[in-house]
Structure 1
Amino acid sequence: MPTQPVLVFDGDCGFCTTSVRFAEQRIRPRCEVVPWQFADLQTLGVTQERAEHEVLWVTPAGTVHGGAQAVAKVLLSAGRGWSLVGALLMLPPARWAAHGVYRLVANNRHRMPGGTAACALPNHRTQGP
């Protein structure tokens, strides 16, 4: 297992890559950042199916947070004012709203600036709860 948290994202998605690079430069989370395509998913305790579906935050203890909660963990790790925003995103009702916004963006990331056809989730991934 890693000694620091790991942020796992879709390296084939231009929107995701741009978002992560922005976070690295402006927010400066305290973690390792790796595209799922180059991550040892088995060691991280993550399936490829889940990594394709959402951004993931994996703690050194092996706890996996996905989607909006992963974003909240990124913000919490950065300290300064970002940690306050991250803490708010962990609490209802902000957590519920963050989840809805995250799913909306994730399901439409191929339509976002920098997005390409490679960003689209497979059809069986965009349907459901």
Structure 2
Amino acid sequence: MRRDAYSYRHDATVPGFPDDKPIVVFDGECIFCSGWVRFLLGHDRQGQYRYLTAQSTLGRALYRHYGLDAESFESNILIEDGVARFKSDGSIRTLARLGLPWSLVSICRVLPSPLRDRIYDLVAKNRYRIAGRRQTCMVPTPEERGRFIA
């Protein structure tokens, strides 16, 4: 669902949060999704991103705000400059900001987004089968805590 930039600021159901940096909202119980965040933490040497679990009050509110299922979390959300991006577009943009060699994934934009998103959906629907599920959300290390939104 497309919305105006920073539309969540005018939604009374979305708690306020710092949005001066891009934010990756992810399924914190999904081992595959948590692995994605661990990858980003390891390669985002400039600390560009903040992270938020979908299971948090704010995470659920953002999923509902964008018309997504606030229980199944089948798409990560990248919020960058107040604009939310989903599925393959969000993942490609996230990697592109990391610089070389990760920014080379931008070449995938030549593929039509419906095709890219079908592949994304296939992985998302099977992510628990692929990697498993935790009983609790990912817990950042003490060094990583400052990069997470509670």
- Asked if Structure 1 and Structure 2 have the same fold, meaning a TM-score greater than 0.5 normalized by the shorter chain, the answer is yes
Aligned equivalents of 1:59, 1:39: Cα separation in 2: 20
Name the structure 1 match of 2:110: 91
Unmatched 5+ residue regions in structure 2?
A: 1-17, 136-150
Q: Quote the offset at 1:31 in angstroms.
A: 1.4
Q: Which one-letter code corresponds to 2:103 in the other structure?
A: S
Aligned length: 114
Q: Quote the offset at 1:30 in angstroms.
A: 2.5
Q: Quote the offset at 1:96 in angstroms.
A: 4.1
Q: Which of 72, 86, 96 pairs up with 1:76?
A: 96
Q: State the superposition RMSD in angstroms.
A: 2.8
Q: Which of 21, 30, 36 pairs up with 1:13?
A: 30
Q: Quote the offset at 1:40 in angstroms.
A: 2.4
Alignment of 1:45-124 (within 5 A): 45-46=65-66, 49=69, 52-60=73-81, 62-85=82-105, 87-93=106-112, 95-113=113-131, 115-116=132-133
What secondary structure is seen at the aligned counterpart in 2 of 1:68? helix
Q: Quote the offset at 1:24 in angstroms.
A: 2.1
State which structure, 1 or 2, has the greater radius of gyration over its C-alpha atoms.
2
Q: Percent identity of the aligned residues? A: 25
Unmatched 5+ residue regions in structure 1?
A: 119-129
CA contact (8 A) 1:27 1:82 kept: no
Q: Quote the offset at 1:38 in angstroms.
A: 2.9
Greater fraction helix: 1
Aligned equivalents of 1:90, 1:48: Cα separation in 2: 23
Aligned equivalents of 2:99, 2:53: Cα separation in 1: 23
Q: Quote the offset at 1:105 in angstroms.
A: 0.6
Q: 1:47 to 1:97 in 2, by over 3 A?
A: closer
Task: Give the alignment's TM-score, normalised by structure 2.
Answer: 0.62
Q: Which one-letter code corresponds to 2:129 in the other structure?
A: R
